[in-house]
Amino acid sequence: MSLDNIRIVLVNPIYGGNVGSTCRAMANMGISDLALVKPLNLNMEEARKMACHAVHILESKTEYANLAEAIANCGAVMGTTARDGLYRQHAKTPRAWAQKAVDVAKTGKVAIVFGREDNGLSNEDLALCTQIIQIPTTLDFKSLNIAQAVLICCYEIFLAFGTYEPIMEMSPEAPSDARERMFAMWRDTLLRIGFMKEDKADHMMQGVRRILSRGTLTMDDIKILMGIAKQAAWAAGSRERSENVDTSEM
């Protein structure tokens, strides 16, 4: 599985909470290879707390003395940056590089490198990278929390890997004759409850059709809407019968 070949590399991480949150983000996206480059006195209790159910990633992490060692066996090395500059102008979004990461990971290791929480990756760090990632943000505030940045990059790679299958609607889309029966029922009900008059009914029903045609209507949707119309019509008839009861002999 190529996601096993994706390595998340944190250079000189400062806060244990960020490392733990990174583990959780990785686990959400099926990535488990975490490398730390010369971490700075991490609070491991905080890391375990923030990792939540991804403590196994934290406990299996590897540590390296420098970035070169952490990425030595990686075919593609993608460094992240929020800063602009001469050596960062070829940066692309996580989405733009995601398929490249998946393709390389089919046969070898890929490193996604994240810099220090206080000032990111240095030019020397980026010189070791084969690609540069920049996450789109507002120009007014470009710095992301490191775990948030990890999650965004892992998310794009996970989608590019192609294993995610969205939940499919079980009920089929309603055919035209079912929709027309439903609209006819609603026309009758709206007239009975006094929402509209006969001379305005066609015009008002155009509005109802427009509202209910903005999204897909399934057969389950049609049944519910017809059920509401039927119950409303029954309630209107019940009220009429109640109002017409002769109470003079009571």
Please report which confidence band the pLDDT of residue 154 belongs to, taking 50, 70 and 90 as the band edges: very high
Amino acid at 119: N
Per-residue pLDDT reduced to its tens digit, 71-113: 999 999 999 998 776 666 788 999 999 999 999 999 999 999 9
**In what helix (H) or strand (E) does residue 11 lie, and over which residues does it extend?**
strand 6-11
Calpha distance 169→219 (Å, rounded): 11
Residue 207 has a pLDDT of 94
Residue 250 has a pLDDT of 43
Cβ atoms of 70 and 64 closer than 8 Å? yes
Domain at 2-161, CATH class: alpha beta
Mean pLDDT over 226-242 rounds to 82
Q: Which region among 12-21, 116-125, 212-221, 229-238 has the lowest average model confidence (pLDDT)?
A: 229-238
Across the chain, mean pLDDT equals: 91
Please report which confidence band the pLDDT of residue 231 belongs to, taking 50, 70 and 90 as the band edges: very high
**HSE of 39 in the Cβ direction (CA atoms, 13 Å)?**
22
Query: SS3 for 120?
Result: strand
Calpha distance 194→204 (Å, rounded): 12
Calpha distance 101→3 (Å, rounded): 9
Residue 167 has a pLDDT of 82
Could you state, in order of their start, the residue ranges of all structural domains in the chain? 2-161, 176-243
Per-residue 3-state assignment (H helix, E strand, C coil) for 203-250: HHHHHHHHHHCCCCCEHHHHHHHHHHHHHHHHHHHHHHHHHCCCCCCC
Calpha distance 161→151 (Å, rounded): 15
Architecture of domain 176-243: Orthogonal Bundle (1.10)
Highest mean pLDDT among 147-151, 197-201, 242-246: 147-151
Cα angle, residue 174 at apex, residues 170 and 175 outer, rounded to 5° = 135
CA distances to 39, 120, 198 from 83, in Å:
22, 8, 66
**In what helix (H) or strand (E) does residue 33 lie, and over which residues does it extend?**
strand 33-37
Residue 109 has a pLDDT of 96
Q: Percentage of the chain with pLDDT > 90? A: 76
Residue 45 has a pLDDT of 95
If one compares 31 and 87, the residue with the highest pLDDT of the two is: 31
Closest CA to 14 of 42, 49, 37, 48: 42
Q: How many CB atoms are closer than 10 A to CB 247?
A: 5
Closest CA to 52 of 85, 78, 19, 80: 19
Residue 246 has a pLDDT of 54
**In what helix (H) or strand (E) does residue 151 lie, and over which residues does it extend?**
helix 146-161
If one compares 167 and 111, the residue with the highest pLDDT of the two is: 111
Mean pLDDT over 167-182 rounds to 91
Per-residue pLDDT reduced to its tens digit, 54-77: 999 999 999 999 999 999 999 999
Calpha distance 230→228 (Å, rounded): 5
